[in-house]
Chains A and B, each alone.
Chain A
Amino acid sequence: AQKITQTQPGMFVQEKEAVTLDCTYDTSDQSYGLFWYKQPSSGEMIFLIYQGSYDEQNATEGRYSLNFQKARKSANLVISASQLGDSAMYFCAPSNDYKLSFGAGTTVTVRA
C-alpha cells in the first residue's frame, strides 16, 4: 500500500475563515486519482472532491478546493468560509488500480 502522510493530526479554525489540510503521498504511478473524504462524528464517510493526476486545473467543489502539486506529490485540501458543520475528520486517499489508500486523517474543529 502507498504511504500517505497527513502531518496535522488536529486543527482549529475560526468560523468563516479558511483552513488548509496537508497531504503527501508516494505513488510511482503517472496516472492516478486523488480523493478527499469527510468523516463527521456520526461515522459515515462522505466523498468531497476528486483530482485526476493529469487534470491541468485544480479541482473545486463548492467551498472545497484542491491545491495539487504533482511534482511534489502533494494534494492539499482548502476549505473556505468554514462552518460549524465542517467539524470532522478529513482523509486524503490516492487511488491506484481502482483501490484507495487512506492517510491517518486530520481532525478539524471549527470554533464559533
Chain B
Amino acid sequence: DADVTQTPRNRITKTGKRIMLECSQTKGHDRMYWYRQDPGLGLRLIYYSFDVKDINKGEISDGYSVSRQAQAKFSLSLESAIPNQTALYFCATSDARASTDTQYFGPGTRLTVL
C-alpha cells in the first residue's frame, strides 16, 4: 500500500463550488505539505504543517485553506473554486527526526474547474 495517499485522484468541478482534497499518510511523519503544479511549471507551496497544531501559509495560499485533523491527515479546501485553480495538486510528508528533510509525495490529484 502507498505510504502517502490522496483522494480523489481526479476531480472535475464547477466555478464557485467548494471542494476538499484529502491526504493521508502511514509514514508517521510530522511534517505535511500541499503543492500545486501548473502545466510546464515546477511545484509551488500552498500550505504546510509541522505538527497537528501548526499551520503555515506557503507561497500561494490565497483561495485555499487547510485542516490538519490528525498527524496522518492533512486536507486542502478550495472554498469557491475558480478556473485558474485547475492544476495538479500534490501532498507531501517529511520526517522531523530524519537527518535530511526529504519530502515524499503522494500520487497527486488532478483538479479541473470549469
Q: A1-B59, A4-B42, A91-B42 are in contact. Are A98 and B88 (CB under 8 A)?
A: no
Q: A1-B59, A43-B107, A44-B108 are in contact. Are A103 and B42 (CB under 8 A)?
A: yes
Within A89-108, the residues touching B (CB, 8 Å) are: 91, 93, 95, 98-105
B94 & A98 in contact (Cβ 8 Å cutoff): yes
Give how many A-B residue pairs fall within 8 Å (CB-CB).
Answer: 56
B90 to chain A, nearest CB (A): 6
B58 & A99 in contact (Cβ 8 Å cutoff): yes
Q: How many residues of B contact A (CB 8 A)?
A: 25
The 9 A-B residue pairs whose C-beta atoms are closest, nearest first, are A102-B42, A45-B105, A102-B43, A98-B101, A1-B59, A50-B100, A104-B42, A43-B108, A103-B42
Q: Which of B's residues lie within 8 Å of A, judged by CB? A: 31, 33, 40-45, 48, 50, 58-59, 88, 90, 92, 94, 100-105, 107-108, 110
Q: Which of A's residues lie within 8 Å of B, judged by CB? A: 1, 4, 33, 35, 37, 43-47, 50, 52, 91, 93, 95, 98-105
